[in-house]
């Protein structure tokens, strides 16, 4: 695991997006295709902006999955992660080989079975993720399930997670935030060959400290990334503010 500290979120996103592009190019050159995971939320704004700017990526050879989606939220809702990815990425990169978005409406069991089947045929090369204010990875809130062998599952969203969604402006009140979501499992995320974790902002500083400094524990879900062979945490000075100097390298 590596840690990279930037002056601000703009620099953070530029570095993270540049590395993601380089890994995608390298994978396509070696294998003829690449399978990627994209995250959503405010932490990913600058990283996705940079990735879109990158040149010489043959997007027609890239298959995309995404991490999580609220259950029962229509595509038209401002907080829909399908809507987020459509507007912030897919409309600007329309030539992907395949896109597998999570549909949190309709029959949830059927949707999960469908997603599990597809991703099992597409080992992930590059995963772009973030962590929550409560330390969650995808929507795997503490205490996270580290043992689920499936790729996707239904999770209950705890109040700190739901408060974050409201605080970021996606919802007008806590009561509007759904209680459940479909989330990629921790084990599935950890199967990714390379993981790029973008975490800006001071409100994530404690979660960053716990993820990097605490022993690996499902109480600190993102701490599991300490065990990944190729994971880079991209932080800004604000999100890294609670790390000891000897951890910043």
Q: What digits encode the pLDDT tens for the residues 197-243?
A: 999 999 999 999 999 999 999 999 999 999 999 999 999 999 999 99
Q: What digits encode the pLDDT tens for the residues 103-126?
A: 999 999 999 999 999 999 999 999
Phi-psi region of 106 (alpha: psi -120 to 50; beta: other; left: phi over 0): left
| Token pair recorded at residue 77 | 């809702």
Rg of the chain's alpha carbons, rounded to an integer? 17
Q: What digits encode the pLDDT tens for the residues 41-59?
A: 999 999 999 999 999 999 9
Percent of the chain at pLDDT > 70 equals 98
Return d(Cα 124, Cα 65) in angstroms, integer. 9
* 2-193+202-231 maps to CATH 3.40.50.1360: yes
DSSP string, 63-111: EEEESEEETT--TTSTT-HHHHHIIIIITTSTT-SEEE----SS-HHHH
In b/e form, how buried is each residue of 25-39, taking b as 16+ CB within 10 angstroms?
Answer: bebbeeeebbbbbbb
């Amino acid at each position: 695991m590596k840690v990279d500290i930037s002056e601000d979120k703009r620099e953070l996103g530029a570095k993270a997006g540049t590395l993601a592009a380089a890994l995608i190019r390298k994978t396509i050159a070696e294998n003829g295709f690449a399978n990627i995971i994209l995250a959503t939320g405010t932490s990913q704004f600058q990283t996705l902006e940079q990735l879109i700017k990158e040149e010489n990526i043959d997007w027609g050879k890239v298959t995309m999955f995404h991490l999580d989606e609220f259950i029962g939220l229509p595509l038209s809702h401002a907080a829909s992660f399908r809507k987020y990815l459509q507007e912030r990425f897919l409309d600007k990169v329309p030539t992907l080989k395949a896109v597998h978005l999570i549909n949190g409406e309709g029959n949830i069991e059927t949707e999960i079975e469908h997603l599990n089947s597809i991703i099992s045929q597409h080992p992930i090369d590059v995963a772009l993720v973030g962590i929550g204010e409560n330390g969650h990875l995808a929507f795997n809130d503490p205490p996270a399930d580290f043992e689920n062998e499936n790729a996707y599952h239904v999770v209950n969203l705890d109040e700190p997670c739901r408060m974050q969604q409201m605080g970021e402006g996606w919802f007008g009140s806590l009561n509007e935030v759904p209680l459940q979501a479909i989330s990629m499992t921790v084990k599935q995320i950890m199967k990714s060959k390379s993981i790029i974790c973008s975490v800006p902002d001071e409100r994530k500083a404690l979660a960053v400290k716990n993820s990097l400094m605490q022993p690996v524990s499902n109480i600190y879900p993102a701490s599991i990334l300490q065990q990944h062979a190729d994971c880079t945490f991209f932080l800004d000075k604000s999100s890294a503010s609670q790390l000891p100097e000897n951890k910043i390298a």
